[in-house]
Amino acid sequence: MTSPVGINAESVGPWLEANVDGATAPFTYELITGGHSNITFKVTDANNTAMVLRRPPLGAVLATAHDMGREHKIITGVGKSSVPVPKTLAMCTDESVNDAPFYVMNYVDGLVAHDAPTIEAEMPDHDLRAAASEDVVSVIAALHKVNPDDVGLGELGRKEAYLDRQLKRWSGQWEKSKTRELDDMDWVYNKLVERKPEQRYTGIVHGDYRLGNMLISPTDGSVLAVLDWELCTLGDVLADVGYLLNNWVQPDETTAAGATGFPTSTGGFSTREALVDRYCEITGFEVGDINYYRAFQNWRLAAIVEGVLSRYLKGVMADSSADTDQFRAQVDGLCEQAVALLS
């Protein structure tokens, strides 16, 4: 069987046997679709035991956004808390094995509720959707209450001035990767700098916390594992709340152009207000002006999606079938939503 692009089977197989307990050749590799940054493969060995291999995209990328060792460290650390994550199995820093560093973690069998059709087909029961709503909030609240020092992540990044760092980082990323000029991006950036609130609560920030980045039990709605930690850092945890709310689209709500089919738009999930109330009840935090964080996350995601668009246009992603027009429309829509939230 031919290996997918991004896997050098002749060297990866022997490495897996030597470094992952119980792994037995031969191995099969399957690209797991859905991600537009780091590349994820399902690996199955001769005993039908599944695991997951994560590696960077195939071309030149931001070192901080695609640092496999850092991502491996984060998942290993978070795994020491009550937050559900896959168990890390091995880390490879020898680029001669697969042309880039990669790590391996256990395979968690669950539902990736990334769009409305998946919810309609796999979670038709509204009681199950309500249960999932509660656990999604419980898990992010638990993450935000973790002391990074207690799980070996105290040196993951600077704890203070999160918004300052993020605004600087993503404005710079926008300038490096933009494929056209968008005046709204500059307008939103200036407003975000002008209205920046004081950081009140500091902890581990996932950076991409939404239903599409977790595995849900189709039986009881519980969160089985939180995935995609590549944007994780330390800082203002309310940024995660703003991001979750942006993705928690209500039924019949207008969303960013090019971004349709949000899982929560199917109905049966908690309202945004209920999410915030539950989060505050569990954490004891006060949310404050959540629209600022929502606008910040729309602007930040616009910069990220533009970077994804740029990489697809350069042909450095394993999946070449993406609709680049949709990415472009999504960036435009995210800008418009950020403007509306700040106006």
The closest alpha carbon to 199, from 155, 243, 232, 234, belongs to: 234
Helix (H) or strand (E) run with residue 214 in it: strand 214-216
pLDDT, position 260:
66
247 residue type, one letter? N
Sequence-distant (6+) residues with CB within 8 A of 292 are 192, 195, 196, 197, 242, 341, 342
Rounded Cα distance, 102 and 72, in Å: 9
Domain-located, residue 260: yes
The closest alpha carbon to 200, from 238, 244, 156, 157, belongs to: 238
pLDDT, position 12:
98
Domain-located, residue 4: no
Q: Which two three-digit tokens encode residue 145?
A: 């209450």
Structural contact between residues 53 and 41, judged by C-beta atoms closer than 8 angstroms: yes
Domain-located, residue 1: no
Q: Which domain holds residue 43?
A: 9-106
Pair (40, 137) in one structural domain: no
Pair (313, 216) in one structural domain: yes
Pair (199, 146) in one structural domain: yes
Rounded Cα distance, 261 and 115, in Å: 5
Pair (89, 166) in one structural domain: no
Domain-located, residue 212: yes
Q: Say if pTM beats, i.e. exceeds, 0.95.
A: no
pLDDT, position 59:
66
Residue listed under structure tokens 């407003």: 191
Structural contact between residues 59 and 70, judged by C-beta atoms closer than 8 angstroms: no
Q: What are phi and psi of 89, to 5 degrees?
A: -115, -35
Pair (338, 248) in one structural domain: yes
Rounded to a whole number of angstroms, the CA Rg of the chain reads 20
Pair (202, 266) in one structural domain: yes
Per-residue pLDDT of the chain (343 residues; tens, 9 = 90+): 578 889 999 999 999 999 999 999 999 999 986 445 788 999 999 999 999 999 988 764 544 457 899 999 999 999 999 999 999 999 999 999 999 999 999 999 999 998 999 999 999 999 999 999 999 999 999 999 999 999 999 999 999 999 999 999 999 999 999 988 899 999 999 999 999 999 999 999 999 999 999 999 999 999 999 999 988 999 999 999 999 999 999 998 877 655 668 999 999 999 999 999 999 999 999 998 999 999 999 999 999 899 888 888 887 665 666 777 888 999 999 999 999 999 9
Rounded Cα distance, 123 and 5, in Å: 33
Pair (90, 199) in one structural domain: no
Domain-located, residue 81: yes
Pair (268, 134) in one structural domain: yes
Helix (H, G, I), strand (E, B) or coil at 92: strand
pLDDT, position 33:
65
pLDDT, position 259:
64
- Which CATH number is 291's domain given? 3.90.1200.10
Helix, strand, coil content of the chain in percent (nearest 5): 45, 10, 40
Domain-located, residue 179: yes
Angle at 173 between CA 242 and CA 321, to 5 degrees: 85
Q: Which two three-digit tokens encode residue 303?
A: 């910069």
Domain-located, residue 318: yes
Pair (171, 102) in one structural domain: no
Rounded Cα distance, 47 and 28, in Å: 11
The closest alpha carbon to 230, from 69, 30, 34, 3, belongs to: 69
pLDDT, position 324:
79
